[in-house]
Structure 1
Amino acid sequence: MKTDKNELEAIFPKGEKGSADYFTGNAYNIGLVDVDSVFTTAVGNVYFEPGARSNWHSHPAGQILIITDGVGYHQIEGQPIETIKRGDVVKCPPNVRHWHGASPEVGLQQLYIVPNTEKGIVDWQEAVTDEQYFKNKK
């Protein structure tokens, strides 16, 4: 049950706090499907507190995001920032830099799917600056 319009309804456990090397703000990750030789796919949940976001990163085989609650942002390098919300599905193409995270006012929960992990999982890069993050708020 939600007690506040800005409070997210948890579907999965919150998980471990993400490293400041890869996230700005408080983001929590829990793996839901471990990679093995049969299912070469990683699946997990990330909970971003308001204002939290990932660094720029890419995935050798791409990534699919399924937004399960909240409001956030997603940006593929060179394209405008998109607002994402509960029920949205986002495809991040292979080897394309992007970032995603919560809006400043409302948190975000997302499932991530990283297919074909035999090609690699993630290439973390630099942090998204406040100027980049707030660009669409001007």
Structure 2
Amino acid sequence: MSLIIHRNGDRATVSAPAEAFTGTVLISPVIVTPKPASIRSVDVSFAPGGRTFWHHHPMGQTLRVTSGMGLVALRGEAPQVIRAGDTVFIPPDVEHWHGATPTTGMSHIAFQEEPEGETVWLDAVSEDDYTLTPA
């Protein structure tokens, strides 16, 4: 097997699907590794107010915040503030959401192993959950 190099600009940035995101969110592919590896990664940019729906990952998810300030929350808990340079690990099958604050944008690179399935998308994050005072 030889190296796989994805050149900057070779793959399109797309708008995030309305069935899984609220607000203006752009997704740029980073990598989907060939088997037997199982890493999937995307670079996600959230405009103020943009966020994911509730979701979970069978093997967990890691987020590396690359710019701005955002929020991440587990179901039933107040959101936590995350900033550029922060790295967050969400354990396997734990329902969560992440995105920008109401007034600041945020970008992160999301990494997850997905050998047996992809992200499980659930319901939209309610305004009440989104606007809870951060912990």
Q: TM-score, normalised by structure 2?
A: 0.87
Equivalent residue letter for 2:128: E
Structure 2 match to 1:79: 77
Structure 1 residue 95 and structure 2 residue 93: aligned? yes
Deviations 1:18-51 (A, max 9, x none): 0111111011111111232043100110000011
**Which blocks of at least 5 consecutive residues in structure 2 are unaligned?**
1-7
Question: Which residue of structure 1 aligns with residue 4 of structure 2?
Answer: none
1:70, 1:107 within 8 Å by CA — same for their partners in 2?
A: yes
Superposition CA RMSD, Å: 1.6
Deviations 1:90-131 (A, max 9, x none): 10110010000001111000000012x112120000000111
For residue 121 of structure 1, the aligned residue among 97, 118, 122 is 118
Q: Is 1:62 aligned with 2:63?
A: no
Partner of 1:4: none
Secondary structure at the aligned position of 1:131 is classed as helix
Task: Return the structure number with greater helix share.
Answer: 1
CA contact (8 A) 2:78 2:129 kept: no
Shift of 1:78: 2.6
Shift of 1:52: 0.4
Instruction: Look up the equivalent residue of 2:79 and give its one-letter code.
Output: I
Equivalence for 1:108? 106
Q: Distance in 2 between the 1:120 and 1:108 partners?
A: 27
- Total equivalences in the alignment: 125
* Partners of 1:114 and 1:121 within 8 A in 2: no
Between the aligned residues of both structures, percent identity stands at 31
Number of the residue aligned with 2:19: 21
Runs of 4+ in 1 over 6 A off after TM superposition: none
What residue identity is the alignment partner of 1:104? Answer: P
Q: How big is each residue's C-alpha offset from its partner over 1:56-107, in whole Å with a ceiling of 9 and x where there is no partner?
A: 0000000000000001100011332100110111101100100000011110
